[in-house]
Structure 1
Amino acid sequence: MPRLLAPCSKLAYTRYIRKPTIPNPNRCDIFINHRGIDTKKTISGLLYDHFNRLRLNSFLDSKSLKPGDRLFVEINAAIKECSVGVAVFSPRYCDSYFCLHELTKLMENKKRVIPIFCDIKPSELCVKDDGTCSDAEIERFQSALEEAKYTVGLTFDTSNGYALSQSYSLFYNVHQNLTLCGL
C-alpha cells in the first residue's frame, strides 16, 4: 500500500525535487560545523541525513571524508564551496581546534552561518588559551566566535527528551535560511 505524504511533507518534497537525482560529490551546499563527541550521533547526524534526503549536499566530516583525505585541504575546500554553514555549539565545542578553525573559515569566507546552541548558552562559549595556538590565531577564533554568538540562532536541549520534535523545528528553520540562499 503506497504511503501518502502529509501536505507539509509533500510541499517540502516538491520544493526540492528540482535537485539532481545524483548529487555532485564536488559540490557542498551545507557545511555542518560541530563537536563530534557531543553531537555527531544526535543533532549533527540527524541534520546531515535530513539534508541528504532532500538531495542537498552536506558536509559532515565522519560521512564526507574518506581514508587518505587530507583533513584541512578537504575541510577548507568544502567551506569555500558551501552556501550555508550550520554551527552546532555544544559544551565541549571550544575545546576543539578543528571546530574553531572551521567556524573561523566560515566567517572569514563570509558564509551565512546558522548557529544551533545544543545544551549550551551563547554566553557560555569562550575560546580557551591552552598555549597551543598563537596569539593571532586565538584572536581570529575569538572574533569568529563572537560574531556567531551574536547571530540569531536556534536552541536544542537534549535534557527535555523531545529530540525528534525539536529536530523537526530545527529542520524547518534551517530550510527557511536555505531558501534565502537559493537552495
Structure 2
Amino acid sequence: MQRTLISKCLTSTGRFLRPATHFLPSNSKSTSDIFINHRGTDTKRTIAGLLYHHLSGLGYHPFLDSKSMKPGDNLFKKIVPGIQNCKIGVAIFSQRYCESYFCLHELALMMEFKKKILPIFWDVKPSELRIVDNGSYSTKEIERFQKAIDEVKDIVGITFDTSNGDWSEFLSSATDSIVQCLHETEEDNERHLKHKITKY
C-alpha cells in the first residue's frame, strides 16, 4: 500500500516563516540557501517557479537554474558549487523527472554532498520513480542514479495531485516546510560548530 507522505517539517500555522535574525541568509549573491532540483519542462512554470519567487520574497536565496544562471554560463560549473554551497535541497519529482540526466546528476550530487533534502512528489508516487535507461548511461552512472533514487524514497516528503489538490494550501505548506527545514539545518550546523570549538 502506498503510504501517504507528509512533510515532517510542516508547521501548524500554515503561514510563511520569515528568517529569524541569526538565520538571515548571506548577502552574497553567489551563495544560495536552497537548491531547487526539478525537471524544467515539467515544473519550471508551476511549482518550481512559484517556490523560487516565494522564497526570494521572504529574503532567502534559492537556486533555480532558469533564474540563477544566464546565457553563456557553463552548466556544470554553476550546478556543482550551487549544490555544494547550499544548505538544503528541494527535489521536485514529476512524472518525467527520471528521464533527465541533469535531474538525476543533481540529485546524486546532493546525496554525495550529504545535503538535507526535502522531496516533493508532484503527480507521481515514490514507488513510480525508476531510472529510464536509453542506452546512453554507463553502468556506473545507472548505479549512482539508482542509489540516489532509492535513498530519497526513504525520506518523508510532500505529495501533491494537481488534478484535485488545493494549490494555495500546498504552496503555503511547502514553503513553510522548506523554511523550517532550513532553520533546523542552521541550528544543527551551529551546534556542530560550538561542539568543535568546545572540543579544541
Question: What is the TM-score when the length of structure 1 is the normalising length?
Answer: 0.89
Dislocated runs of 4+, deviation >6 Å? none
Q: Does 1:56 align with 2:82?
A: no
Runs (5+) with no aligned partner, structure 1? 1-6
Runs (5+) with no aligned partner, structure 2? 1-12, 188-200
Q: Does 1:182 align with 2:186?
A: yes
Residue aligned with 1:181, SS: helix
Cα distance in 2 between the residues matched to 1:117 and 1:161: 13
For 1:31, give the aligned amino acid.
F
Q: 2:133 aligns with which of 126, 129, 132?
A: 129
**Residues 43-98 of structure 1: per-residue CA shift (max 9 Å, x gap):** 11111111111211110000000111000110011001001000000001001001
Query: In the comparison of the two structures, how many residue pairs are matched?
Result: 175
8 A contact 1:83–1:112 mirrored in 2: yes
**Correspondence for 1:12:** 17
Matched-pair identity in %: 50
**Residues 118-141 of structure 1: per-residue CA shift (max 9 Å, x gap):** 000000001111110100001000
Q: Indicate the structure whose relative CO is greater, using CA pairs within 8 Å and at least 6 residues apart.
A: 2
Kindly report the root-mean-square deviation, in angstroms, between the aligned alpha carbons of the 2 structures.
Answer: 2.1
8 A contact 1:28–1:81 mirrored in 2: yes
Question: What is the TM-score when the length of structure 2 is the normalising length?
Answer: 0.81
**Correspondence for 2:8:** none
Cα distance in 2 between the residues matched to 1:14 and 1:74: 26
For 1:162, give the aligned amino acid.
D
Q: 2:118 aligns with which of 111, 114, 118?
A: 114
State which drifts further: 156-165 or 72-81: 156-165
CA change 1:129–1:13 in 2 (3 A) is closer
